[in-house]
Chains A and B, each alone.
Chain A
Amino acid sequence: MIEIEAVEKSYGPLRVLKGISLRVPEGKVVCVIGPSGSGKSTLLRCVNGLEGYQGGAIRVDGRLVDRGRKAEIRAVRQRVCMVFQRFNLFGHRTALENVTEGPIYALGEPRQQAEAGGRELLARVGLSGKEGTYPAQLSGGQQQRVAIARALAMRPQAVLFDEPTSALDPELVGEVLAVMRDLAREGMTMMVVTHEIAFAREVADHVVFMDHGVVVEEGPPDEVLATPREPRTQEFLRRVLRPLD
């Protein structure tokens, strides 16, 4: 579904991605973990074409992600949607309008159909009755669930999650992770950049540990998260799981 091959990216002299390769097969959940500044969010943004890259290739469903080709990028974006760390909702539109904006203006769906679909999706993420509410009146967890519904409204073949719970109060993390877990169970292809090790352990089919723009270690969650081989992975997990030691 998503194929990332030897991707290189730098900001000026700073190399943030140093030949990253990674695959997200259809129907699988790949979690990318790693310290901040390791390039994992950048990689995710490259998959969606929000940022360009200088070397290698990213393919989505066989299509090359190339920011130079506008029509091609739009086709990719309609297949692979993104959920952001800070929700990035349209603040001047209601929850329902946030969800229908994509179907109406990117897919050309009739408004009525989009609204019916939008209501269903809001119900699916547990937000029935909040259709007419503006983002500012929703909690962080509710806002992020609207953002997930907005991504699903595009009927994507895969969803990219960029640290979807990092901006949430601790007590709101669970409701968002629950929605993501349901989504994974239904067979959605997902690429998740996260610091939620417990979530990765339960839901991921494959875990990738990135540091300084390279993949340090990858494999099934039981191996990478429970018995990591690389010292850098061990050190990172120790600090994340037992910050006070």
Chain B
Amino acid sequence: MSFESFLTSARDFLPILLQGVWVTIALTLCALVLATLLGLLWALMRTSGTRWLEWPAKAVVNTLRGIPIIVQLFYIYFVLPELGLDLTAFQAGVIGLGVAYSAYMGEVFRSGMLAVDPGAVEAAESLGIPRFRIMTRVVLPQAVRIVLPPYGNMLIMMLKDSSQASVITVAEISTQSRLIAASTFKNQEVFTLAALLYLALSVPLIILVGQLEKRFGRA
């Protein structure tokens, strides 16, 4: 692969690949929202102190953690329609990725909640600060600091795992590159471009997480 042929390929294929980039970003962000909301739910259930909330959440989290994402995607895209629930590939991708990652998010949130200094919460209570304010002024600021770096890492992993949605035909970066490579046989150029595009998306995130760890790791 000469550098010129690479540049020519880049010029020809980038417009199509960039469409894939937008799909990758949209898929990752939608799945992130779903994973965050569900993850919070699992974490709140698991730290509720009520056994009949803790147990189901634990069961769900362990089940999700125990099944590969690709199988979860197959299940949602191919099995749910048989049960009467038709989803577009993108919708199935968002749900599959979001639900799968909610298990890991839940564990991240749970560890953050458990790491908040109970003494500080008690001190706030002893000052007569209202419950809601204790949440917003003491618990959440501390939990967010603890959770932000691992949360950022989850986001990076989701970005890369969004490529698994190509198996259910979501037109994101890897799907597009596979299609182009199959029709042009320019495997080297196309997959190099795909790798570079993923790096362009993930390296800024990796740097950001590094900064977060530096800032919050100390306190």
Q: Which of B127, B141, B219 touches A102 (beta carbons < 8 Å)?
A: B127
Q: Distance (Å) between the CB of B70 and the closest chain A CB?
A: 40
Contact of B137 among A86, A88, A101, A151 (CB under 8 A): A101
> Are B129 and A106 closer than 8 Å at their CB atoms?
yes
- Measured CB to CB, the closest approach of chain B to A145, in angstroms, equals 15
Give complex CA distance A145, B119 in Å: 16
**A151-B128 Cα distance, complex, nearest whole Å:** 11
Contacts of A92 in B (CB 8 A): 141-142, 145, 219
Which residues, 95 to 123 on B, are CB-close (under 8 Å) to A?
Answer: 117, 119-120, 122-123
Are B130 and A106 in contact, with the CB atoms below 8 A? yes
| A107: nearest chain-B partner, CB-CB | B128
Per-residue interface assignment for chain B, residues 112 to 154, with 1 indicating a CB less than 8 Å from any chain A CB and 0 otherwise:
0000010110111111111001000110011001000000000
What chain B residues lie within 8 Å of A88 (beta carbons)? Answer: 117, 119-120, 122-123
**Closest B residue by C-beta to A82:** B126
B125 to chain A: which residues have CB within 8 Å? 50, 77
A4 contacts B by Cβ under 8 Å = no
Whether A90 contacts B128 by the Cβ 8 Å rule is no
Smallest Cβ-Cβ distance to B141: which chain A residue: A92
Note all chain A residues with C-beta closer than 8 A to B129: 101-102, 105-106
A-B pairs under 8 A by CB, number: 69
Q: What's the Cα separation between A89 and B120 when bound, in Å?
A: 6
The answer, among A84, A106, A151, for a CB contact under 8 Å with B122, is A84
Contact across chains for B219 and A50 when beta carbons are under 8 A apart: no
Report the count of interface residues on B (CB-CB < 8 A): 19
| Chain A residues within an 8 Å CB radius of B119 | 84, 86-88
Given A101-B137, A105-B133, A105-B137, the answer on whether A90 and B120 have CB atoms closer than 8 Å is yes
Q: Describe B's contact surface by its main secondary structure.
A: helix
On chain B, the residues within 8 Å of A81 by CB distance are 126-127
A72→B107 CA distance, assembly (Å): 37
Query: Complex formed: what's the CA distance from A128 to B173 in Å?
Result: 58
Say yes or no: is A78 at the interface (Cβ < 8 Å to chain B).
yes
Smallest CB–CB gap between B145 and chain A, Å? 7
Contact A150 B127 (CB under 8 A): yes
Output the least CB separation between A38 and chain B (Å): 21
Q: For A199, list chain B residues within 8 Å (CB).
A: none
Task: Tell whether, in the assembled complex, residue B128 and residue A102 are in contact, meaning their CB atoms are under 8 Å apart.
Answer: yes
- Report the bound CA distance from A228 to B128 in whole Å: 38
Which A residues touch B126, using CB under 8 A?
Answer: 48, 50, 77, 81-82, 84
B219 x A74 contact (CB < 8 A): no
- Mind listing 8 A-B residue pairs with CB under 8 Å? A50-B122, A74-B130, A76-B128, A77-B128, A84-B123, A89-B120, A91-B142, A105-B137
Which residues of A are interface residues toward B (Cβ below 8 A)? 48, 50, 73-78, 81-82, 84, 86-92, 101-102, 105-106, 134, 136, 147, 150-151, 154
Known: A76-B128, A92-B141. 19 other contacts (CB 8 A): A74-B128, A78-B127, A81-B126, A84-B126, A88-B122, A90-B120, A90-B137, A91-B120, A91-B142, A91-B219, A92-B142, A101-B137, A102-B129, A105-B130, A105-B133, A106-B128, A106-B133, A154-B127, A154-B128
